[in-house]
Amino acid sequence: MNARERILNFIEEIRPLNLHGFEIRQDGERILAAGAAPFDNDTGHRLYSVSKSVVSLAVGILVSEGKLRLSDRVAPFFPEMLPEEVPEELERLTVRELLTMTACYDRTCYRPLLDRDWTRPFFQGTPGHAGGTLFTYDTGTTQVLGTLVGRLTGTSLLSFVRERLFEPLQIHHARWLLDGAGNPQAGTGLILPLSEVARLSDFCISDGRGLLDPDYLRAATSCQVCTDQRSMPEERYGYGYYFWMMRRGFSMYGMGGQMGLCLPESRLTLTTTADRILEGTGVQSIYDAFFRHLAGITADPELGADPEILSALSDYSVPAVCGWRVRRPVYLRLVTPIDPVRVLILKEDSLTLETDAGIIRVPAEPGRWVPGVFDPIGPCLSTGGMTGNGEYRAEIELVGDTSCAVHVAVSMRENGRASVRIRSSVWECVPGFDGTAMARYEEQ
C-alpha cells in the first residue's frame, strides 16, 4: 500500500473522532495539515501536558549549560516553602526524579480550584513512598521545575523558552497560563497553535540543532522508568523526562488528544489537537490510527496537494449533532439538581442552563457549530437539537484558555417526566456540571 492510500485510510479512521486538527511531517517537511471545521491549525490551543515536555526541554538547556544537574536536590532551591521539619523523602528528591515522575507522592498535591500558589503545596505534602522507586503521575513535579527554571534564569519560564527555543524554531504565538501567585501553570498551561506544535514535534526528533545537548534530548525521549501498570495500553511502554514512550518512538502527550507522536527511525511526526476527554476510547484511538496507517510511510511533500487527498479533506469537520430543531421551547426543572445546574431551557436555536451562580445561554442548532460564550469560563462552540422521540442532545466545546467540553442529554416522556445527563470535563475551571438527574418538563 502506497503513502497516498495510507493517508487516505488514516483520514477516514479519524473522521468520526473529535480531532480539532492534525499535521504530518517527515524529514522536516510538512506532508499534510488539516483543521477540522470549525477549528483551524493557526489558532492557539491549550496543550495540557504537552507543556511538561517543553519544561523538560527548558531544564535540558540549563543542564547543557551547567546551571543545573539532574542529581541536584530540589528542596534547597525553595527554602521559604519548606516545613520546619522536612521529611527525608522530600529532602532527598532530585531533578531527575521529578523529570521521571518518580517523586514521593501518590498524587498531585496542589488543587487547581482552591490553591492560589500551585508550587508551595509540593513542599507541604505527606510523602507516600520513597522517591526514585515508583512512577506516579504527578503534575506538581512539573510545577516545581517550571518555577525553578524562572528562579535560575531570573526571568519567566515562557520568556526563557521563547528566547532559547521557540524563536529559533519559528514559534511566535506562545502563551502560558499563570497560577494565582504569578507562576506558570507549568504542567498544563502552555497555549500554542497546532502549526507551531508541529515544529516542536519535529525538533524533538532532531539532534538538538545546537539549541539543546543531543545527549540530554536523547535521554529525555528514551525510557527512564517502567510504566507497565498504567491502564491505557499506550502508556505502558515507559516514560522519559516528561515524554511518553510508545510501542515505537515517543510522544508529547496532553490530556484530550494534544499530541506529538514522534518516530525518529523514519523522521516522521504526527501532531494533533483534540478533545477526547469525554470519549470512551480516549486518545488510544489516535495512537492506533497512527500506527495502523502512518508509521511505515515514506511520503513526498507533494502529497499535500494530491487531488484525492484534498477531496477527502474537503468536508473534514468535527461531527455536529444530527437531528432537528426544537419545535416549541421546553422548560425542564431538575428534581435532583446536577450541581450547579437547576433548570434547562431548550429552544430552537439555544440551550440555557440556570445555575446557582447565574444563567448560561449558548447557541444550539443541529448540523452545525455556532460560536457563543459559556459564562464565566469563556468562548465556546456549540451544537444541539432533537435526535429522536423525546431525545435531545447538545455538545459544548470550550475554545478559549481551556480545551474541554460539556455534553447534555435529555430524555423526555409524555407524562412530563424526563431524565437529564450532563457530562463535563471542565473540572479545572469550575466544579460540578457532571451527573444525572430526574426532571419535570413542560412545553411553552
193 grid coordinates: 497553535
Asked if omega into 340 is within 30° of 0 (cis), the reply is: yes
Instruction: Tell me the residue type at 429.
Output: C
- DSSP assignment of 295-310: TT----GGGGG-HHHH
CB atoms under 10 Å from CB of 327, counted, come to 9
Contact 205, 269 (CB under 8 A): yes
User: Which distant-in-sequence residues (6+ apart) come within 8 Å of 380 by Cβ?
Assistant: 362, 371, 372, 373, 374, 396, 397, 398, 399, 400
- For residue 355, pLDDT beyond 80: yes
190-238 tens-digit pLDDT: 999 999 999 999 999 999 999 999 999 999 999 999 999 999 999 999 9
Q: How far is CA 355 from the centre of its chain?
A: 27
Summarize pLDDT for 131-180 with one digit per residue, the tens.
999 999 999 999 999 999 999 999 999 999 999 999 999 999 999 999 99
As assigned by CATH, the class of the 330-443 domain is mainly beta
Phi then psi for residue 120, to 5 deg, are: -55, -40
Give the pLDDT confidence score for residue 18 in this predicted structure: 86
- Residue 428 clears pLDDT 80, i.e. is over it: no
Cα 2 from Cα 224, distance rounded (Å)? 35
* Overall average pLDDT of the 58-81 stretch: 97
Q: How far apart are CA 11 and CA 31, in angstroms?
A: 13
pLDDT in the model for residue 59: 98
Contact 21, 273 (CB under 8 A): yes
Contacts (Cβ under 8 Å, ≥6 apart) of 185: 51, 118, 143, 176, 177, 178, 179
Looking at residue 432, its pLDDT comes to 85
CA 266 to chain centre: 26
Q: What is the largest CA-CA distance in the chain?
A: 73
Peptide bond preceding 376 in cis form (omega within 30 of 0): yes
Q: What is the DSSP letter of 141?
A: H
Q: Please name which of 47, 428, 34 lies closest in space to residue 274, comparing C-alpha atoms.
A: 47
> Would you say residue 321 has pLDDT above 90?
yes
Within this chain, domains 3-313 and 330-443 share the same CATH topology: no
pLDDT mean across residues, the chain: 95
Q: Report pLDDT for 418.
A: 97
Separation in Å, CA 349 to CA 317, 318, 319, 398, 404: 21, 19, 18, 18, 22
pLDDT at 195: 97
79 preceded by a cis bond (ω within 30 of 0): no
- pLDDT for position 149: 98
- Give 279-290 pLDDT, tens digit per residue: 877 899 999 999
Percent of the chain clearing pLDDT 90 (strictly above): 89
What distance in Å separates the CA atoms of residue 143 and residue 62, rounded to the nearest whole number?
17
**Cα distance between residue 235 and residue 223, in whole Å:** 12
pLDDT for position 57 = 98
- Per-residue pLDDT at 402: 81
Nearest CA among 250, 83, 55 for reference residue 158: 55
Percent of the chain with pLDDT over 70: 100
- The pLDDT tens digits for 23-48 are 999 999 999 999 999 999 999 999 99
pLDDT digits (tens, 9 = 90+) for 84-108: 999 999 999 999 999 999 999 999 9
- Grid cell, residue 263, equals 518516530
Q: Using one digit for the tens of pLDDT, what is the confidence trace for 376-408? A: 889 999 999 999 999 999 999 999 888 789 999
Which sequence spans correspond to the domains of the chain?
3-313, 330-443
d(CA 291, CA 312): 20
The four Cα atoms 273, 362, 365, 312 give a dihedral, to 10 degrees, of -10
Please tell me the CATH code under which domain 3-313 is placed: 3.40.710.10
Closest CA relative to residue 408, chosen from 348, 325, 352: 352
| pLDDT of 429 above 80 | no
Tell me the C-alpha distance between 188 and 200, whole Å.
Answer: 16
pLDDT tens-place string over residues 234-253:
999 999 999 999 999 999 99
- Find the range with the poorest average confidence among 55-64, 283-292, 298-307: 298-307
Band of residue 431 on the pLDDT scale cut at 50, 70, 90: confident
